[in-house]
A and B are shown apart, each in its own frame.
Chain A
Amino acid sequence: MEKTNINENRRFDLGRDFRYRIFSVLMKWETVLILILTAVVITNSFLSPYFLDPVNLLDTTFNFSEKAIIALLMAFVIIAGDIDISVASIVALSSVFMGMASAAGADAPTLVVIGLLSGLAMGSLNGYLITKFKIPSIAVTLGTMSLFRGIAYAILGDQAYTKYPEGFDFFGQGYIGDSPIPFELVLMAVLALGAGYILHRTSFGRQTYAIGCNLQAARFSGVPVDRIRFQIFAVTGLFCGLASVLLTSRILSTRPNIGTGLEFEVITIVILGGIAITGGEGTMIGVILSTFVLGFLKFGMSLLNVPGRVMNILTGALLIFAILVPMALKGLRNSVEMKAQKKL
């Protein structure tokens, strides 16, 4: 008699556990993003005959691959409780340095190295100022945003670099072999996998979350807070350098206003991806999903020739939705958990 009772109890427990798991998966922001992405794809396929064409879909990724690459690192920055609004200016100044080198006769591989190194240097300057002098990241990057962009304007004025060597156009315009798969997209996918692994599977990632949740507590628990924050900002600079290589190669010219407004688009991707602006929360999958949600939404709307202003309104609404819904979901999940505990 007693035995069957226990078994029944266990079966009951398993069932409840299973239902609870489904509930908690459904209550995740990533699930909401998948639903939104599905809705975007289905609606657009119905509205435009040109949307669900693999070649078109692959080609439109050119327009957001660079932003996505910066967003991968911006996710680390925001999870650690910081912000970097100088990213677009780093892209611009790196591009100017590449243009100078190209004018002096450098070849394509040298230009890539110059782009990456100048990005790394600017990112390191951000990280150094933030950790060494304990200045909030928003203040430092607000300063370097104007500084880097200002230097770019001082060097170029109303001029442009338009001479780039043979083969440099591959990075931003090239495809893998004869396939219609852009090189940029593959690069973005590889980097996304790497970033996801580091954020979710290594101690570096866990320490990033710890800093974002409570910086002081992390410091007292022995997390090398300043070193990690410095590294995050430095690598963000490096990725901006990479994005600059791709963007410069894509448009084969450099002007000081290159990438204007890019920082806000990147931050939009990250926030919509469910990374809490207060730090300590969010996943890489969310960031990647939101990249595609925004990219395909924009592509679909431009296929329907919806004016840019309407797109801005929609993006804004989505962003507010992205901030409000996880809060509501959290509240709902808590109350369900409380009820479950009361029943026990």
Chain B
Amino acid sequence: MKHGRFVTALFLMFALIGGSAFGADLKIAILVKSLGNGFFEAARDGAMEAAKEIGGVQILYQGPSQSTAEGQIEIVDSLIAQKVDAIAISANDADALVPVLKKAMKAGIKVVSFDSGVSKDGRMINLVPSETPLIGGQQVQLISEMIGFKGEIAIVSATSQATNQNAWIEAMKTTLKQAKYKDVKLVATVYGDDSSDKSYRETLGLFKTYPNLKGIISPTTIGVAAAAKAIQDNGLTGKVQLTGLGLPSEMKAYIEADVCGQMALWNPIDLGYSATYIACRQGRPHGQHQGWSQRRKRHGRPLRLQERQHRQIRRDVLGHEPGPEDPVRFLTGPLRAGFFL
């Protein structure tokens, strides 16, 4: 009797954990740079929304506890063992993940990269959130407007290996060569490794090394929040301007306190949403995705949700309908999915 009960308990446990996995006909893993990052949690919410709309899709949201390529490789290995149908990944390293993702594709798993891409050999499609020149250009424009087109600026980036960060920094440098930015001088780029603590310390280091620093660009959600806190804690509000790519929910207090005059972002919810749609389309064999075109008709093209959700986030931050001069600016480049060359 006791034994029987034990077996039943084990069976129940098995059914509880394994059951959901067997119920869904499509298993899609969203593999992000690290867990505990608001940006990716928003992307996960978008993925969930897409999964619900499509139906019959189970989302596995996974990421290492530290943003390392090795941690992501271990997770990809376990996803191969679980025989998921598709992996949508935001990579910590564009090259290091290629061999293991190749192995995944060989095992029949569809691989899509989003946000921070993987080199060509390691994925089928790369979803670029916005256009690199647009992001770089707008960041430089925002900070220059705030400091009056004159003075020293610095960048607080994520890891020195992040594909997207490096591309944006390059774009910023290109933009700075234009004549109207001739008095704006980029003095340093520091790396906070997407850790609040390190980003904060690196920002403090900037204040010490460059006492004439006028502005900071932090094109990463964790970095910009940490830099805002550093500016506020040191009473530099108004003396050092800040812009970046930030999450409204994390930056609200700093925007209200005028620490961060303006910032920009695209919508991470849309990013997760679109990545899931693409992964589903890849993961579902031909003849099985009739639902796709029907849903497309019903909801419009999935990517057009962007504008609606943008407005919603802006309302959440501002408390009223957004106007053109409001502090959160959206990068309105088309959300593009395409083959990254």
Contacts and interface: CB of A to CB of B under 8 A. Distances in A.
Contacts of A259: 70
B99 A169 contact: yes
B65 A308 contact: yes
A222 interface: no
Contact of B78 (A49, A169, A173, A302): A302
Interface in A219-263: 250-253, 255-261
Query: Which of B63, B74, B96, B97 gathers the greatest number of chain A CB atoms within 10 Å?
Result: B96
A178 interface: no
A243 B201 CA distance: 33
A308 B18 contact: no
Given A56-B81, A62-B77, A157-B160, A253 B68 contact: no
Interface string A299-337: 100111101110110000000000000000000000000
B93 A253 contact: yes
Given A50-B83, A60-B77, A255-B93, A250 B18 contact: no
B232 interface: no
Interface in A52-71: 53, 56, 59-60, 62-63
A298 interface: yes
A40 B58 CA distance: 26
Contact-size category for A: 35 or more
Query: Which of A50, A162, A302 gathers the greatest number of chain B CB atoms within 10 Å?
Result: A302
A158 interface: yes
A302 B75 contact: yes
Interface string B298-332: 00000000000000000000000000000000000
A308 B64 contact: yes
Interface in B66-82: 66, 68-71, 73-75, 77-78, 80-82
B179 interface: no
Contacts of B68: 257, 260-261
B18 A47 contact: yes
Interface in A35-49: 46-49
B161 A160 contact: yes
B160 A158 contact: yes
Interface string A138-170: 000000000000000000011010100000010
B99 A46 contact: no
B54 interface: no
Contacts of A50: 81-83
A305 B18 CA distance: 11
A63 B83 contact: no
Given A158-B160, A173-B99, A252-B95, A307 B78 contact: no
A302 B60 CA distance: 11
B80 A251 contact: no
A214 to B, nearest CB: 39
Contact of A46 (B14, B36, B96, B119): B14
Contacts of B82: 48, 50, 303
B98 interface: yes
A253 B101 CA distance: 14
A255 B66 contact: no
B35 interface: yes
A47 B14 contact: yes
Nearest to A312: B65
A63 B74 contact: yes
B196 interface: no
Contacts of A256: 160
Interface in A279-309: 298-299, 302-305, 307-309
A62 B75 CA distance: 12
Nearest to B78: A302
Nearest to A309: B65
B81 A59 contact: yes
Contacts of A260: 66, 68, 70
Nearest to B159: A257
Given A46-B14, A308-B35, A312-B65, A255 B96 contact: yes
Contacts of A157: 160
Query: Which of B71, B119, B161 gathers the greatest number of chain A CB atoms within 10 Å?
Result: B161
Contact of B80 (A59, A257, A261): A59
A257 B80 CA distance: 25
B24 interface: no
A305 B81 CA distance: 12
Contacts of A158: 160-161, 166
Contacts of B159: 257
Query: Which of B13, B73, B77, B119 gathers the greatest number of chain A CB atoms within 10 Å?
Result: B77
B62 interface: yes
B341 interface: no
A259 B63 CA distance: 17
Nearest to A64: B74
A303 to B, nearest CB: 5
A46 B13 contact: yes
Given A59-B81, A308-B35, A47 B17 contact: yes
A48 B103 CA distance: 22
B12 to A, nearest CB: 11
22 contacts: A48-B18, A53-B81, A59-B77, A63-B77, A162-B95, A173-B103, A250-B99, A251-B70, A251-B97, A251-B100, A253-B95, A255-B93, A255-B95, A256-B160, A257-B160, A298-B74, A303-B78, A305-B62, A307-B35, A308-B63, A309-B35, A309-B65
Given A251-B96, A303-B81, 14 more contacts: A46-B10, A48-B18, A50-B83, A56-B81, A60-B81, A63-B73, A160-B161, A252-B95, A252-B96, A258-B96, A299-B78, A302-B62, A302-B74, A305-B60
3 closest residue pairs by CB, A with B: A308-B65, A302-B78, A253-B95
